[in-house]
Amino acid sequence: MSSMPPVVTRFAPSPTGRLHVGNIRTALHNWMCARKTGGAFLLRIDDTDAERSREEYVAAIRDDLAWLGLTIDGEARQSQRFDLYERRFAELVAAGRVYRAYESQQELELKRKIQLGRGLPPIYDRAALALTEADHARLAAEGAAPHWRFRLDSDAPIEWTDLIRGPQRFDPATMSDPVVRRADGSWLYLLPSVIDDIDLGITHVVRGEDHVSNTAAQLQMFDALGAEPPTFAHEALLTGSEGKLSKRLGSLGADHFRDAGIEPQAIVALLARLGTSDPVEPVADRAPLLDSFDFARFGRAPARFDEGELAQLNSRIVHQLPFDAVAGRLPAGMDAAAWDAIRPNLETVAGAAAWWQVIEGPVASGVDPEDREFLTAAAAHAETIDWSGDPWHALTGALKEATGRKGRALFLPLRRALTGQDSGPDMAALLPLIGRERAIARLRG
């Protein structure tokens, strides 16, 4: 893909709910496709459904993309483009490529049952094409409002080369003429999307494989409107960790990941390569992800999304984050030295607060009674060692020589008394942060 000219992609969510992980993956791959070639990534809000669309979801979509670092280069809203749709629709009416039909859902279902019973494909029989202007006038007088269908050209197969699925071929004779406009005048997805892609100069459409049959119909719409179609990439859908399509995936969105302490870099690192043979790696820098991004690397098999894998990846990325990248999310007073000391033990940045509490105190030591005399001796040694250098090794060295203790018997009681924990960050880094006075007080109990 690196030799391709700059591309223009679009992410086109409907603002009827929060983005879920599948939407996020689609947005990311559109963004990566554009960024790799120095092209443009557009956001198209598909808000033609006035009843279900909500402004709070529009705002949430923008916020989620910003949080993920998917900067947009322009935005369009379908609800503001109805005049354009009307103009292009009128061209199709004049060319005879859309036509009026009146069948109810019940009538269409009956027709399908009859066709299936006769061993025929259950597609629309184009009965409405036989209606005369007098028939239309009569139906209008009776109060019947038509819906509109796009008339497919059945003379030749519909073919294209998909960037992921390879050569595709559909026989239009086995497809129903799709409804593009409802009886109330509102638009369905297919035609406005084509009109927008033409108007916005979209060169690449990246979406899920559930849109493949839509693409077959839309290719004829591009042709009917005198436009070259974009290049298509239809991705395999995500499955849950249990190996089948999961309703839970629909509830996993950016808000869920934020609440769980997942870094946007972890989501990007996982979803950038999920479905490819490339290894998923804890990279916080997007440059290597963009360098290796290529639709030819994506397989046809469903891609498996595992929250456990994401959590592990997140932990490894947190361990790389510099202080400046997280300073605004750390407890007041926590400095770079403290971050560097506790970072290797964190699963999320939010977990730093618990370790800052360990440093600042108070802590519940949970010391075994048999270690009390040893810790009293430790407190005395802590008063005499040099705290300006490496107090932990100075303290443990002095105690080993004085008491003969070593290994776990030496280190564990000290860690418990000083931190209240059996494990955690390197004590050589932690003890200077706890400081002389707090350390002596904790050792004395």
Give the annotated binding-site residues for ATP. 247
Distance CA(145)–CA(183), nearest Å, equals 5
Residues annotated within a binding site = 247
Distance CA(210)–CA(115), nearest Å, equals 25
From residue 153, alpha-carbon distances to 150, 162, 171 in Å are 10, 21, 10
From residue 436, alpha-carbon distances to 137, 284, 358, 444 in Å are 94, 37, 14, 12
From residue 77, alpha-carbon distances to 42, 46, 129, 219, 248 in Å are 11, 6, 33, 22, 29
Number of CB atoms found within 10 A of residue 363's CB: 18
**Phi-psi category of residue 43: left, alpha or beta, with phi > 0 → left and psi -120 to 50 → alpha:** beta
Is the separation of the CB atoms in 240 and 249 below 8 Å? yes
Q: Which residues contact 207 (CB under 8 A, 6 or more apart)?
A: 26, 232, 233, 234, 235
Find the DSSP H helices in 162-204: 190-199
Distance CA(44)–CA(14), nearest Å, equals 9
**154 token code pair:** 């059945």
Helix pair angle (436-444, 408-419), 10° resolution: 110
Counting every residue written for the chain, the total comes to 445
